[in-house]
Amino acid sequence: MRKGRAACCDKGKVKKGPWSCEEDLRLISFIQKHGHPNWRSLPKQAGLLRCGKSCRLRWINYLRPDVKRGNFTPEEEYTIVKLHHSLGNKWSKIASHLPGRTDNEIKNIWNTRLKKRFKNAELDGCANSFSPPSSSTSVVSHTANEGEFKNVNDDNMITEKEASKSCSPTSSYASNLSNLSQVEISGPNVDMDWIFQLNEEPNLEYFPCITAGKVHDNEGMIEIPLEGSGIDFWDMLDIMSPSPNSESKLDNHSEGSDQPVCQGISEFECQNWMRYFENELGLK
DNA sequence: AATGATCCCAACCGCCCAGGG
DNA sequence: TCCCTGGGCGGTTGGGATCAT
pLDDT at A190: 39
Question: Quick check: A100 and A259 in contact, CB under 8 A?
Answer: yes
Predicted confidence (pLDDT) per residue in A273-284, tens digit: 556 555 544 544
Which tops the pLDDT comparison, A158 or A24?
A: A24
Q: What is the pLDDT of residues A135-149, one digit of tens each?
A: 333 333 333 333 333
How confident is the model at residue A124, as a pLDDT? Answer: 57
Report the nucleotide nearest the CA of residue A69, measured to C1': B9
Distance A111 CA to B10 C1' (A): 14
Instruction: Say whether domain A71-125 belongs to CATH 3.20.20.60.
Output: no
pLDDT tens string A55-69: 888 888 888 887 887
CA distance A43 to A53: 9
Q: How far apart are CA A268 and CA A103, in angstroms?
A: 34
DSSP string, A178-210: HHHHT-----TT---HHHHT-SSS--TTTSHHH
Burial A134-144 (b: 16+ CB within 10 A, else e): eeeeebbbbbe
Please check whether residue A236 is in contact with residue A262, taking contact to mean a CB–CB distance below 8 angstroms: yes
Protein-contacted positions of strand B (CB under 7 Å)? 7-17
Strand B interface, A 80-119, C-beta < 7 A: 104-105, 107-109, 111-113, 116
* Cβ contact A42:A30 at 8 Å: yes
pLDDT at A46: 87
State residue A272's pLDDT score.
57
pLDDT at A153: 32
In this model, does residue A28 exceed pLDDT 50? yes
**CB-contacted nucleotides of strand C (7 Å):** 3-13, 18-20
The answer to whether the beta carbon of residue A90 comes closer than 7 angstroms to any atom of strand C is yes
Can you give the pLDDT at residue A212?
30
Q: Where in chain A is the domain with CATH 1.10.10.60?
A: 13-65, 71-125
Give the CA-to-C1' distance from A107 to C11 in angstroms. 10
Identify the pLDDT of residue A138. 31
Q: Which nucleotide is nearest to A40 (CA to C1')?
A: C6
Per CATH, the number for A13-65 is 1.10.10.60
Instruction: Calculate the average pLDDT of chain A.
Output: 56
Give, as one character, the DSSP assignment of residue A63: I
Q: Specify the nucleotide whose C1' lies closest to residue A60 (CA).
A: C8
A218 touches strand C (CB under 7 A): no
Contact A104, A98 (CB under 8 A): no
**pLDDT per residue as tens digits for the range A92-117:** 888 888 888 888 888 888 888 787 76
pTM: 0.59
The contacts of residue A31 (CB under 8 Å, 6+ apart) are A42, A59, A63, A250, A251
User: Is nucleic acid strand C under 7 Å from A173's C-beta?
Assistant: no
For A175-201, the pLDDT digits (tens) are 333 333 333 444 434 344 444 443 334
pLDDT of A183: 39
Write out pLDDT tens, residues A236-260: 554 444 333 333 333 333 333 333 3
Give residues 54-73 of chain A lying near strand C (Cβ < 7 A): 56
- A142 forms beta bridges with A149
Report which of A68, A66, A35, A41 is spatially closest to residue A53, judged by C-alpha positions: A41
CB A241, CB A247: distance < 8 Å: yes
Asked whether the predicted pLDDT for residue A222 surpasses 80, the reply is no
A57 touches strand B (CB under 7 A): yes
Which nucleotide's C1' sits nearest to the alpha carbon of A63?
B10
